[in-house]
Amino acid sequence: MFLIVAWITYPPLHAQINVSNQLNTIPENFSQYADFYIKDVTSHQGFAYLNSFSTTGRVLGQWELDFSLKLGSGLSQELFAPEFGENFQLTGGMPTLFGTEEPGKLYFQFLDEETGVPIVNPFSGEIIGFGLPLFPGLGTSLGFSPAVMPVLSLGIGYGTEISFGILPGAIKLVTNTIASDFSINKDITTTFGIRHDVFYWLPALHDRKFNLSLGVQYNFLNLGASIGPDLIGNIDQPSSDKFEVAYNLTGLTYKSSSMGFEAILTKKFGFLDLSLFSSYNQIHYQVNSIGGVEVKVAKSFYSNIASGYDTYSFNELIKVDQKVNKFIFGLAMQFNLGRFNIDLKAAPFSGHYYALGLGFQMLKEK
């Protein structure tokens, strides 16, 4: 995924360089870029799953069973700007996964620690370092995080309902059409929740077709991907024997867990349930690379008398661990057509979340 290009390396003899300290900033800075690149989808994926679960405050009666297919998505036009360390310089555009920017480059450059300025080749004037090419976005200019989940819900009585959903292999099916040298080898999404209609205990409101459900949902997504050499391309080896750069990135892992707390206030009008909802969501996601890069630096690069090479291996080139909290509110509608129902849900002013649900009530209370 990540290509490293090194340039000619002949620093001035007076330059003061702590090679180890400077090179060891690579994983932290490149992880910031990786987080920036996928933040649109990761910051919305969790609450897209969580908020697809329920579209009405009415809960199933005791031992009623409902099967539904939930479709949802969070949308984003936010721009996240990472702050890179002093050793890095961005040239060209900074794309995101969904962005339209042409790919630029993130250059690692050695600094003279006395002056704080980049070290240059005295013969060519080029900055001494190597570049990390960035990747173009999909060109949508809009971040979206689709969530698809078959959900089974059961009423257990006393105004309480439990739900469970699991979907293995869906992301693998989609990504197989995107890149021939990128394959998902682990793909499973699970979601479950429980909610209670507090108006069940208030007959004056319940009998007038008012419902207020309070619920909690949890979602977990676990992905593993293998990356082949054709997706990355060949490494342009340094033209100077002062550096050697080797690539051994073979895969990525992605995990996210999301917890949501939701309140839905509903009034039933014939076959239509019209609802207002609010939801607080906590999303925790992690991205880690399998393998990374190895840089060998000639000791003569920073010492006039030393010989041999120092080796720096970055097997955790990408290590992202982030948490996102979101509060959304909006409107939901459920059309009840006998055993079938059609659900619509939207939060256009607080997170841009939208959902569609298709349900079938398999067991219905008599």
Distance (Å, rounded) from C-alpha 174 to C-alpha 335? 30
Q: Do 271 and 335 form a contact (C-beta atoms < 8 A)?
A: yes
Kindly state the tokens that stand for 232.
Answer: 């990355």
Give the residue extent of every domain in the chain. Answer: 5-363
Please report, in tens digits, the pLDDT of each residue of the chain (366 residues total): 433 343 334 554 446 778 888 989 989 988 888 888 777 777 777 777 777 778 889 999 999 998 888 877 777 766 667 788 888 888 777 777 776 666 677 788 888 888 888 887 777 677 777 777 676 666 776 677 777 888 899 999 999 999 998 887 666 655 555 555 566 667 788 889 999 999 999 999 999 999 999 999 998 888 877 766 555 545 555 556 677 777 777 787 888 888 999 999 999 999 999 999 999 988 898 888 888 878 888 888 777 767 788 898 888 888 999 888 888 899 999 998 888 888 888 888 776 788 877 877 776 654
Residue 161 identity = E
Distance (Å, rounded) from C-alpha 69 to C-alpha 27? 40
The closest of 243, 248, 247, 246 to 309, measured between CA atoms, is 243
User: What sign does the CA torsion over 225, 230, 231, 232 have?
Assistant: positive
pLDDT score recorded for residue 190: 87
Residue 73 three-state SS: strand
Residue 74 identity = G
pLDDT score recorded for residue 310: 87
pLDDT score recorded for residue 13: 43
Distance (Å, rounded) from C-alpha 53 to C-alpha 34? 30
Residue 174 identity = V
pLDDT score recorded for residue 2: 36
Cβ-count burial of 207 within 10 angstroms (0-12 exposed, 13-18 middle, 19+ buried)?
exposed
Q: Do 51 and 280 form a contact (C-beta atoms < 8 A)?
A: no
pLDDT score recorded for residue 121: 72
Residue 230 identity = D
Residue 322 three-state SS: strand
